[in-house]
Structure 1
């Protein structure tokens, strides 16, 4: 049985909470695994010198925790936008454009790894196309004149027109048209890129949710027949579901509009959120789901009072299109079918808003002043906070960091907040950034049988653990 997105998220949180509580009550059961992990690590450590161990990361040496004050009253109404600015995930460069700071870059890199894994599992190949797209390619399809003012246009010194690509259907189709004619035996071809996209938004707002430049994954597929293209379309949609499922998100796959991209079939992947600028209709009983702008949504009438049709705002994080031959005909891009006849490629295109997903996760999972990431893409899994007044607490923090780093899955996933500030202040900031686990090193850590407070920030639970129990917990954490 496949769980809904919401059920998956609840299950992940419940499982994490139960595991956390159980580890506080059970003896060490994973020491053999921990020792095996240590043997895999060949790095030399030097506990007497912080610089002697390359795996240690100190907050005092990192561009984060910059003392930003959370705006109590602000014109910003988007929760995730405020959290991103406050926690130094992004910094605004210009109206609608944001610099992705180191914490945000780590999150995005992890999200990209998940996307790569799922797309490669269905045979997709990663590539990179030019950011500048020649106007002559866009004029072939008519979109140079039809797409409107959202297209960034520029002219070089030789008076050649280009645009900053918001999408790459023309460029990818030209690649296939310029190469040798492929047989159906070599299809489907599935190529994707994850690059910056540009859109001259009239009124950008909400950070990455509606910006003028953003990171997007765009995938393009080529088949010999419509039947084959539909099969490919379904496999990509299933991969999208796995990506969002691994993030534990409550998503809806809904019938979507084709817009200026075109095609005969379209689906959107939506996250319900009050700040969302889309509206979706979802029937809990029959499974119907569509964007409010579609004919399907406008024609849907639930006469059964128990039908459960709900209408809610949402954020679009993914979109799929079955394009047919709209672009291949313009570029005379052909393949040989099973009857050895030449025919136009049946195409599909599929977008995932990478930077948008990153912010949308925070919008739907977080509280007003504390980021909650999907744990698998949190910037770091552990933050260790030693008591500022005792040097031996810092030494213990470094030792625990070294131990955690011997687990290959947690290598580089631990930060030590060594700043000369009160523990309560640093703990507040750690929760705001969204580290899944915070370990505080205080007086109990100096006892003959030391114990350490371990805080599960997602579930707001705190327990004292031994070092062995901390190692056991670390063995259960999923990273990418």
Structure 2
């Protein structure tokens, strides 16, 4: 089987910190605290651990998934000229006074004071901070524009009632991009390009989503779109018109009829907001004096856009949409590991049959050679447990492919049992056929036509 010497080169489940903690469904105290399926499953399967209300420890399997999402976002941001920065978590309160937001969103802000009694905010978003950064260099040359700066950092919001686990917490991981342009026409070009980038990101994640006209709210500006996963637990209400394919948050459209075509047979559904885009204009750049030097040599106020993706929320929302009440289902693109191998139980006739075989190691190595599976294979080496027990746990954790070395490995030809959780197929395959089965390149799970039907164009 897997020797101690060679096993250290493999991903092994026995070395993963995954504290399983089954939450009793009939526990009254838990009914108050746990308010969504994804929250309960992530707690039960050791993906997250609650630290305090609205704050969670993200554990190794969750970190792997979030890192995959972060890598995807980084790749797509670079394609549109995004430059990664890290802005301070603490923002001087005076900047928020200048923009006018200190009072309008005061109740949601974590405010602190230093030893000199200077006020700071734990940033929920960074429009003021990045505008101040650009203003400190102003006026910049028009040749430097558009300037697209983004970061992926923890943000903070003093939620009055944190709920739904990672979907509405006090600390969350967000990708926020800030784009500066010479005029509104150029800013709109940037807006469309970044929205198309968001489309690609959500298509690659592979869950049907809807893009809707959104409210600018306290952020300001004159154009806004939201990205949603439809789910009953969603706190936003989305109006959709099947007649003209108009989609909007009811905050901007009302619930009686379509504002575009007047159709009264509109549909209202619940959505989880996972992304938001804003065309802000001069909302922050003018009061903070962020300017550029135009071609005629005059300082001119920059036009700004702000673009957010809730990465930790996307992770939880994806599980909310795909999972059953008892078992996690990952979008394959974000699964912590895509394949888990279950060797025979120690002392079983199957284990004895493989005593002098390196089947587990060779299978692992050959799977790792598949482009889409590189660094995505793990062995459940807890051979003190039966295959059946480990299989049930693997299903609950949601590994897309479960490969069991069961009774048929003693037959001639030897066959492996593969379970595909995406299709609910269970097949017995020879090793070569198994490799062919898991080798096809990943395709986007989003029905492109369905996507086009369920998105409001810019």
The alpha-carbon distance between structure 1 residues 241 and 219, as it changes in their structure 2 partners (threshold 3 A), is: same
Task: Say if 1:224 and 1:336, in contact at 8 Å, map to a contact too.
Answer: no
Candidates 182, 192, 196, aligned match of 1:224? 182
Aligned to 2:454: none
Question: Does 2:242 match 1:284?
Answer: yes
Q: Secondary structure at the match of 2:14?
A: helix
SS, match of residue 151 in structure 2: strand
1: CA distance, partners of 2:366 / 2:336: 19
Establish whether residue 72 from structure 1 lines up as the match of residue 25 from structure 2: yes
Match of 2:328 in 1: 371
Number of the residue aligned with 1:250: 208
> Residues 377 and 479 of structure 1 are in contact (CA less than 8 Å); yes or no, is this contact kept in structure 2?
no
Partner SS state of residue 38, structure 2: helix
Matching residue of 1:403: 366
Residue 417 (structure 1) aligns with: 380
- Give the Å deviation of 1:289: 0.7
Assess if the C-alpha contact under 8 Å between 2:138 and 2:291 holds in 1. no
- Offset at residue 245 of structure 1 (A): 0.7
List runs of 5+ in structure 2 lacking aligned partners. 445-458
2:53 corresponding residue in structure 1: 95
- Aligned-pair CA distance for 1:475: 2.8
Post-superposition CA distance 1:189-233 (Å, at most 9, x none)? 011001000001010001011100000010000000000001100
How many residue pairs were aligned? 432
1:60 corresponds in structure 2 to 14
* Preserved contact between residue 96 and residue 128 of structure 2 (Cα < 8 Å): yes
Superposed CA offset, 1:254-285 (max 9, x none):
11111111111111111111000110101122
TM-score, normalised with respect to structure 1:
0.85
Does the CA-based 8 Å contact 1:253-1:289 persist in structure 2? yes
| Structure with greater contact order relative to length (CA < 8 Å, sep ≥ 6) | 1
TM-score normalized by the length of structure 2: 0.89
Deviation of the 1:339 alpha carbon: 4.5
CA distance in 2, matches of 1:479, 1:417: 27
Whole-Å separation in 1 of the counterparts to 2:291 and 2:391? 60
Contact 1:135–1:163 (8 Å) recurs in 2: yes
Gaps of 5+ in 1: 1-46
1:335 to 292, 311, 333: 292
Number of the residue aligned with 1:473: 437
Residue aligning to 2:153: 195
Deviation at 1:303, TM superposition (A): 7.8
The match for 2:231 among 273, 280, 294 is 273
> 2 CA distance for matches of 1:428 and 1:216?
34
Aligned partner (choices 98, 103, 118) of residue 160 of structure 1: 118
Tell me which of 430, 433, 447 is aligned to 2:397.
433
Instruction: Decide whether aligned partners of structure 1 residues 451 and 299 sit closer, same or farther in structure 2, where only a CA change above 3 A counts.
Output: closer
Work out whether residues 125 and 190 of structure 1, in 8 Å CA contact, stay in contact via their aligned partners in 2.
Answer: yes
Deviation at 1:324, TM superposition (A): 0.3
Correspondence for 2:427: 463
* Distance across 2 between alignment mates of 1:303 and 1:179: 47
Deviations 1:425-445 (A, max 9, x none): 211111111111000001211
Structure 1 CA distance, aligned partners of 2:344 and 2:6? 22
User: In the alignment, which residue of structure 1 is the partner of 2:305?
Assistant: 348
CA RMSD of aligned residues (A): 2.1
> Contact 1:290–1:297 at 8 Å: present in 2 too?
no
Matches of 1:220 and 1:302, distance apart in 2: 30
Question: Does the CA-based 8 Å contact 1:50-1:56 persist in structure 2?
Answer: no
Describe the SS at the equivalent of 1:281. Answer: strand
